[in-house]
Homo-oligomer: A and B are copies of this chain.
């Protein structure tokens, strides 16, 4: 089977580590867990499940619920091997970020102080909203599945850090206490953080 996409690894993991599942279940699971660091949309999930089935990494069993269609997927041996391989291959892993609010901050020299503060506030609001989402998605107690909880803690910690960073910057800007002063001699007087 050719190179797997990000979504493929997500599906393989969800089914391989957490057990046999339908596309719908994975969709909901992803919405409340991996969404913040690895999003997956239904338009991607369903076709990818079929591809993985065609590639022999998953098997599908039709288990209708009444007259309602339902496809439950399980991992095959090759699928399990592919999953383990991915988890342990030490490959240079993808890390990407798109932060529009930070891009605005990058260009904020063009704004007055009021507006600058507003941009930072906007960024903080964004991450506070994410924090709300993370908190609502507190994982259930599963002693043999600690790593769901660990990555949840990451989301909590990271976004809290960002919110604090914004607060600090907001107050620095509001009180004219410019964060790190540029000295007359050209040196940068970095404020310890």
A contact residues vs B (CB 8 Å cutoff): 6, 9-10, 13, 16-17, 33-34, 36-39, 83-84, 86-88, 90, 92-111, 115-116, 118-119, 122-123, 126-127, 130, 141, 143-151, 153-154, 157-158, 161-162, 165, 169, 178-180, 182, 186-188, 193
- Closest B residue, CB atoms, query A130: B95
Query: How far is B143's CA from A146's CA once the two chains are assembled, in angstroms?
Result: 48
Are the C-beta atoms of A102 and B154 separated by less than 8 Å?
A: yes
Q: Which residues of B contact A111 (CB under 8 A)?
A: 87-88
Query: How far is B7's CA from A117's CA once the two chains are assembled, in angstroms?
Result: 24
Q: Which residues of B contact A116 (CB under 8 A)?
A: 147
Query: With contacts A84-B110, A150-B169 known, what are 7 further pairs, Cβ within 8 A?
Result: A38-B102, A88-B115, A90-B122, A93-B123, A93-B126, A102-B154, A105-B150
Partner of A106, one of B83, B86, B147: B147
Are the C-beta atoms of A103 and B34 separated by less than 8 Å?
A: yes
- Closest B residue, CB atoms, query A16: B110
Are the C-beta atoms of A182 and B146 separated by less than 8 Å?
A: yes
Q: Which residues of B contact A178 (CB under 8 A)?
A: 146
Partner of A96, one of B17, B97, B106: B97
Are the C-beta atoms of B84 and A36 separated by less than 8 Å?
A: no
Query: How far is B157's CA from A36's CA once the two chains are assembled, in angstroms?
Result: 20
Are the C-beta atoms of B109 and A145 separated by less than 8 Å?
A: yes
Q: Which residues of B contact A143 (CB under 8 A)?
A: 182
Residue with the highest number of chain B CB atoms closer than 10 Å, among A150, A157, A193: A150
Are the C-beta atoms of B109 and A122 separated by less than 8 Å?
A: no
7 A-B pairs within 8 Å (CB atoms) are namely: A87-B104, A88-B111, A88-B119, A93-B122, A95-B99, A109-B145, A154-B165
- Closest B residue, CB atoms, query A120: B150
Q: Which residues of B contact A151 (CB under 8 A)?
A: 102, 105-106
